[in-house]
Every structure is written in structure tokens, then in C-alpha cells.
Amino acid sequence: MIRYQSHSSATLSGKEIGLLYEGTRVHSRAYTDSTVYEIEMERIFSRGWLYIGHTSEVATPGDFRVRKMGRQPVIMIRGRDDAVRVFMNRCRHRGAAVCEVESGNTKFLRCWYHGWIYDTVGKLVEVTQREAYGPEFNQDAMGLTPATRVEIYRGFVFASLATTGPTLREHLGNAAAMIDLMVEASPIGELAVDAGAHKTVYRGNWKLVGMDGYHPNFVHASVIAAWQRKQDSGMGATHRDDPFDDKAASRTRDLGNGHAMLDLTAQRLAHYEVYTKFLRSVPGGPEYMEAMQKRYGEERAKLLIALAGDPHVGVFPNMQLINNQIRIMNPVAPDETEVIMFPVRLGGVSDAMNAVRIRQHESFYGPAGAGSPDDAEIFERAQRGMMAQVDGWIDLSRGLNREEREPDGSIVGRITDEVPQRGQFKRWREMVSAD
């Protein structure tokens, strides 16, 4: 396989790597260099909070999902005590993965190397031919290793492998309210992440999947052409005036801590009538609108309905909430990234409406969608191009002269401005530079 990564001859320190971002530009080695990648694995993916999964994916005791924290394999499992935990997917004996299937329900996790058995709360319950161990062997201390810290925000399970550092709430900061926008698209405030997943992979660096309001008119020109053909279709209706025009009312936001979003609120509210006309035509649509108003009040309901559960937010470093999906980004190598897209089903909503939302997701996202493949294609072109490292700086200054700071500390720009990219790299620099 042809690779698009480079290796620095001299080992770079974290501080030196941090200097690859200068506020208005970043050096392409940040995307291609294997030393940079190693430092990211250590300082971002082994220290920071990572999104692991949603509690609804492990709805009943014994349900489990295999996930990754950077390179490290973990299991998210609901124990017999109903608590959701995250364990390293590694046998305490000689290190074999104890869980080979991606998901399932079980009473015990058995390692088939030598037959040790763990239960759903991680306890080592059986050591085969136990008599070979003396009294110094402390079986109680040999349970599956838990992720150092696990915290849950509204069903979103996060884990960190650092003993110290900000709490999840501190880390989420302004992004917590954006997660709320997806959760509260459900009139009962519940998401069911049980609709399967689109699993995609592209040959490019993980930082290429960002929040970029500048690209749609170019990368997705073919989709926009298709929408213009049918202005009244679901997606067409919400994109009637170009939300990605520089003059559009939509905004970019750097929420702090590397979290960033494309704030489409103004655009979506402006098309509330067209959108809800479509929504009312879906079985269960009118009941949905009524239930939303009852639960959240008229004003908030209007916002939630208009956004349709799409905060369009990236939660640094590995989660995005876009359209109807929760996304996990898994770096595989400096030049390879998996993007797993989980469409959600809204609790308290008709099956017909959830089905429409899944169809809308498929139309743009996933390996055979109209949008995601062109994103992946462009990320791969960027990765290839960035291998040219003579004069290897890439520019991130767009909109710097016109961005504004909000009272909550977030930075706001026009939709095509590189506010999100700067926000993400600011956090990236802090994390890679910290010893």
C-alpha cells in the first residue's frame, strides 16, 4: 500500500511539535509526520476525554461494544449492576483480547488463550487450574483494567486514561449545550443509538475531518446541483438559500477546548415554515411538533425542530454530531482514519419519522452517500498534496480580521471562516506541548 506519511530524521519534542501551529498557519508535517502522530496518541488520545459510545448501545445488563481509544482496544459494557463501564480489552493473564466480536450480550467474558473468565463488572471469576498459583496471587486484584476515568453526559459515555485533568463537564464546556440540541430533538429527551453504523475509512490524517463551512459549494457541488433540481425535497428545502455563502446568516463557532461548530441556526429558523410543512406530511410529524412544544415550550421547541437534532458540532478530538448522526473518528495511522457514523433514532417519535431521518442520512452520508465519499476523496487529495513539504505551511487565516468574541468566550465568524480550524489547532497545540 502506498503511504502518505513522513518521518522526521530528528525526534521532535512535544513543544517543537506545538510550534507547527502558528495561529494563522500550520505546517503540513502536523498531518503527515509519524512523530507528530506518536505524540498525539500519547498526549491527546491517551490523556484527553474521548467519546466511547452511548448508553443506549448497551441497553441491558451484559450488553457490550468493542471500541478504541486511540490505538487501545476497549470494551464498553453494562454490568449486572446496570452501571456502564469501560475496560481495556485485554486479559490480565498474558494480554489476549477477551472480546473478539464487536457487540453482543453476555454473562461472562472468557479469554480463550488459557480460559480465564471475567464477569460483566470486570471481576476475574475463574482462573483455570487455580491451584498452580500460591497465596501471593491476588485474584481480586486481577479484574479487567478499567479506563482510568469514565463520565457520562446525557447518555454520551466518555473516558480518559489520565488520572488527573479537567472533569468531563469542564472539558465539554460550551459544547455540552450543543449535545443537548441533539438529545432534545427527542420530545422525551432520549436517543436510541441502535440503527447500525456506516463505517468508512480514508487515507488521510484524522485532523482533516473538521468543521468546515468553506468547502460545501466546491466539494459538494454535485449534491447542491441535485438539491436544486428538487427544491421541495427534505434536504433541498433546508438548503434553499445557500447556507454556505459567505454572506449567509450561518456562523462558525470556536466553542473553546478544541470544540467547534457550524452554527446553522439562523438559516434553519429562516426556513422553519418550509421544513415544518414537510415534517407535517410525515406520519407522526404533527404529533411530534405538538409533543416538542409541550415539553420544551414554544420558543425552544421552534429552535429544536428547526435544527432537527443537528448541532453540527465537533467535540475534540474524536466525536462529531452532524445531521442525524454521532460520529467517531479513529486515527489508524498518520495517513489513515476511520470515521464511524451512527445514525440515531429519536425516542418518543414515530417509526415513520425515524425512518425518514435514516433515509436522509443515507442520502448524504456513508460509503455510498452523495456527500461523504467526496469529503473522503478531498481529504485524500489533501494528504497527498501535503507530502510536498517545500514551503509546507498551509494557511488558516481566513476570517481572522472579522471574527468576534462572545460573552461566553466563544469566537464567532462567518460560515466560510477558518474559526473552527484555528479553535481545533489551538487545543491541539496545548495538548501536544504539555509534557
Partner 1 sequence: MTVYSIERLALIREVEDALYREAELADAHAYDEWLALWTKEVLYWVPCNNDDIDPMRQVSLIYDDRDRLEERLFRLKTKHAHSQNPRSRLIRTVSNICLQDFDAATGGTVTSRFVLGEVRLERQTEWIGRMKHVLVRDNGQFKIREKRVFLVNNDIPMGNLTFVI
Per CB under 6 A, residues contacting ligand FES are 91, 93-96, 111, 113-116
Residues 207-246 that bind partner 1 (CB under 8 A): 219, 221-223, 225-226, 229-230
Binding mask 374-403 for Fe ion (x = CB under 5 A): -x----------------------------
Q: What H or E segment, with its residue span, contains residue 404?
A: strand 404-405
Query: Interacting stretch for partner 1, rule CB under 8 A, among 49-57, 153-161, 258-266, 339-347?
Result: 339-347
Candidates 181-189, 236-244, 367-375, 419-427; binding stretch for Fe ion (CB under 5 A) = 367-375
- From 262, 336, 334, 340, select the one nearest 52 (Cα to Cα): 340
Q: How far is the CB of 374 from partner 1 (least distance, A)?
A: 5
385 near partner 1, rule: CB under 8 A: no
Q: For residue 216, which of 373, 375, 369, 368 has the smallest C-alpha distance? A: 375
First vs last Cα of the chain: how many Å apart?
A: 34
CB-CB contact of 11 with 425 (8 Å):
no
Q: What is the largest CA-CA distance in the chain?
A: 76
> For residue 193, which of 57, 312, 68, 361 has the smallest C-alpha distance?
57
The residue at minimum Cβ distance from Fe ion is: 375
- The least CB distance from residue 194 to partner 1, in Å, is 8
Site string for partner 1, 170-209 (x = CB under 8 A): ------------------------xxxxxxxxx-------
Q: What are the CB-based long-range contacts (under 8 Å, 24+) for 359-362?
A: 360/234, 360/235, 360/323, 360/324, 361/323, 361/324, 361/325
β 103-105/72-78 pair status = unpaired
- Using the minimum distance from each CB to partner 1, give the nearer residue, 101 or 132: 101
Per CB under 8 A, 321 contacts partner 1? no
Residue 206 binding partner per list ligand FES, partner 1, Fe ion, none, with a CB distance cut-off of 5 to 8 Å that depends on partner kind: none
Q: Do residues 178 and 261 touch, judged by C-beta distance below 8 A?
A: yes
| Positions in the binding site for partner 1 (CB under 8 A) | 2, 102, 194-202, 219, 221-223, 225-226, 229-230, 338, 340, 343, 345, 351, 354-355, 358-359, 361-363, 366-368, 370, 373-374, 376-378
